[in-house]
Structure 1
Amino acid sequence: MKKIVLFCLFPILFTNCNQKNSEENRSITEKIAYANGFENFEDVEEIRYTFNVRTNDTLRTSRAWSWRPQEDMVTLTTPDSTVTYNHKSEASAHQQTDQGFINDKYWLLFPFNLVWDEMDYQHEEESTAAISGENLQKITISYPNEGGYTPGDSYEVYFGDDHIIREWVYMSGGDSARAFATTWEDYKNFNGLNIATMHRSEDGNFELFFTDVAVE
């Protein structure tokens, strides 16, 4: 019996060793993605969420989305209308809606875009965060100057040793003079996806937040 038990342990130890080596070999962008549940995304059938923007205590934007990633079907619901289209094959026919979808989904699932997107990045193990002044790790990512709805954008992303994002700075077109910093906070777990549901500017006059989030 002892021989059987020991024999059965070897595959388990070997599997754990391979898993550890795999985690150690991940790039810094992959580590951020996996810290937020990237490995669970392939099982997602539908994500529902409402994207909200509040400035100076006034709700400026509220868009309710449903995305079925395995089918690439997107539905936008507003007080005035409902639009459903295939993001892969019909985006050009719904360009304005699709721009909103890409923007809102980017805020929701940005850590996964670090794996999905084509970008350049630089990693600093110690840096001073833009809002809190904390000593955090930082990656600076830059998008190509061609392609997509907002080519040339860049971001400074601040995160802890747990690879969870705390703040970022967005620079439209890579222009530091147009930098805009927000927090990443109020993380909640939705069926294995770790999502920051609130983003605030340093002065608190801008809030971008998600409500009615559901992952199936």
Structure 2
Amino acid sequence: MKSKSLLLLCCLSLFIFSCKNKSTPSSEAEEKTPQKENILQKVANAHGIENWSKIKELQYTFNVDRDSSHYERSWKWQPKENKVEMLSSTDTVSYTRTTMDSLATKADQAFINDKYWLLFPYQLVWDEGFSHSVKKDISAPISQQKLAEITIEYNNEKGYTPGDTYKIYVDKNYIIQEWAFYPKGKNEPALVSTWEDYQTLNGLKIAKMHKNESGSFKLYFSNLEIQ
């Protein structure tokens, strides 16, 4: 692992609202899909999970615009080797996710957060340790469209921030249109945003833009390359 500075790592919490996953997950675990095609599998399929096994490398820049401020960090990830590189204007941190020291673990919290924004439809079948429920014809919080609402409630045992809940809103084709994030123990969402500006690269269907209702918060991906 290498690092130019610790400044970025002190700022990670500014834009991480949640990150779920095992602290040292394996790439093999992310290849697994359930035998039964329930609604979670249908969402993952609609976003192209069947093409994941062919992916060798992802590169992307994670951007956040909040009011007049801008923040970004870039990633290079080789999932089959579990190798990750984080780059910013102040830092470069490289590590292998199977063997992480304290500095790599801090960077990995940011990686998991950004990866969830990028690949949440796949986390629905990669992850363990959560329950889900479905309601049909629910008014989505931003568009008010009638969509299926899937509630994802993580348990209190695993991940960097256990016990959080997500509600995702999917259309008839099982494509995510909006989501809401509820921190552990909260009945009101901390953030509600769109999923839009979809692009398909090497079979993966990725939402590149997420905005809140007022547009004062925008989280988006640029420099997206999938090989």
Residues 37-77 of structure 1: CA deviation (Å, up to 9, x unaligned): 10001110000000000011321x20100110000000001
Rounded Cα–Cα distance in structure 2 between residues aligned with 1:145 and 1:91: 24
Relative to the length of structure 2, the TM-score reads: 0.81
Which one of the candidate residues 133, 136, 140 is aligned to 1:125? 136
Instruction: Report which structure shows greater RCO (CA 8 Å, sep ≥6).
Output: 2
Which one of the candidate residues 112, 131, 135 is aligned to 1:102? 112
Unaligned residue ranges in structure 2 (runs of 5+):
1-35
Residue type matched to 1:49 in 2? Y
Which one of the candidate residues 49, 58, 65 is aligned to 2:60? 49
Mapping of 1:134-213 within 5 angstroms? 134-213=145-224
Residue type matched to 2:40 in 1? T
- Runs of 4+ deviating beyond 3 Å: none
Residue type matched to 2:57 in 1? E
Aligned length: 192
Rounded Cα–Cα distance in structure 2 between residues aligned with 1:130 and 1:192: 29
Larger CA deviation: 102-111 vs 123-132: 123-132
Identity value in percent: 43
Show the counterpart of 2:47.
Answer: 36
Unaligned residue ranges in structure 1 (runs of 5+):
1-24
Report the structure number with the largest CA radius of gyration.
Answer: 1
User: Residue 151 of structure 2 contacts residue 167 of structure 2 at CA under 8 Å; is this kept in 1?
Assistant: yes
Show the counterpart of 2:94.
Answer: 84
Show the counterpart of 1:7.
Answer: none
Show the counterpart of 1:11.
Answer: none
Residues 116-150 of structure 1: CA deviation (Å, up to 9, x unaligned): 11110001122110111110011001001122111
User: Residue 180 of structure 2 contacts residue 189 of structure 2 at CA under 8 Å; is this kept in 1?
Assistant: no
